[in-house]
Structure 1
Amino acid sequence: MKKYSLLIISVLALLLAACSSDATSSLKTADIIKVFKDDGLEIGETSELEKKEFGNTREEGIRILIPSLGEDAGGRLFKFKNKKDLEKAKSYYDELGKEAPMFYSHTHANGNFLLQMNGDMKDQDFEKYTSSLDKALK
C-alpha cells in the first residue's frame, strides 16, 4: 500500500507541475502588457517587433513605449521558444551595455519571457515592471 501511495503522490506532483507550466506557457506578451496596465505601470503605444529581432528563436516580440522616458523610448517584451534562446538574447543586451555604456539597458528574464527596458529608466521603476512580470507568471 505504501508503494502505491508514493506512486500516486509522484504522479500527482508531475501533473501539478505540468499544469502550472501549461498555464504560463499559454500566456502571450499581450497578456503581460495587460498585467502591467492593471498594475498601474506606465505603458504607451505597443507594436509588434519585426522578425529581425531574434527571428525564429522567439515566439513573440512587442515594442513598448514609455512616454516619460522620452520620444521613441521604452523597451521590449519577448517570449522565447526555449530557455537557451532567451539566455542568448539577454546576454546580447547585457554585453552591449558593458561594451558601450550609452547602450545600457535593464533586462529581466522569467520563464520564457525577457523584458528589456531603456537604461534611462530608474532602477526602482524597472523593479515594478519585473515584479509585475513575475506575478503574472506565478
Structure 2
Amino acid sequence: MAKMKPAPAKPDQSAAKPQPAAAPPPAPSQQQASRLAHNPNQPLSMSEIDAIRQQISSCWNPSVGAKNAGDLVIEITVTMNPDASVREARVVDQGRMSDSFYRAAADAAVRAVLNPRCNPLKLPPDKYDLWKTFILNFNPKDMLG
C-alpha cells in the first residue's frame, strides 16, 4: 500500500487579517434593568414579566415605614395553575426571614401574589409551559414608581 503524503498546508489568508472584535451587547437602560429582574433561565419575556408586575402591583402594599424600605427587594418564586391562578408563592431568600423588616416586606409580597383581587392573572393559556413557574422581584423603588 502506498502511503500518501499530506499536501503542504496553505496559509489561510483570512487568518492573517485581523478580524474586528464583536461589538458588546448594548447595556440595558437603568429604567429597564430596574424593573422586575428577568431571570435568563426562565422563558418569560420582559413584556410578559411587566404585564404580570402591573397586575400584581395594585395588590401590593409594601412596608413603607420600615427601615431602608426602599432597599428591601424580595424575590418570590411563583407556581401557577393552568387556569392562571397562583398555586404557590414562596420567598426565595428564607435566610433573611429572621429580620423582622425583611419578613414584613416578604409577607406583603406573598400576600400580593395570592390576593384574590389580582388572581387569576391574565396570561395566554397556550403558553402555560412558559409561565407555570417564574420568579418575581418586588422592589418598592420600581413597582411603586
Tell me if TM exceeds 0.5. no
Q: Which has the higher helix share?
A: 1
TM-score by length of structure 2 reads 0.26
TM-score by length of structure 1 reads 0.27
Greater RCO structure (CA 8 Å; 6+ sep):
2
Larger radius of gyration: 2
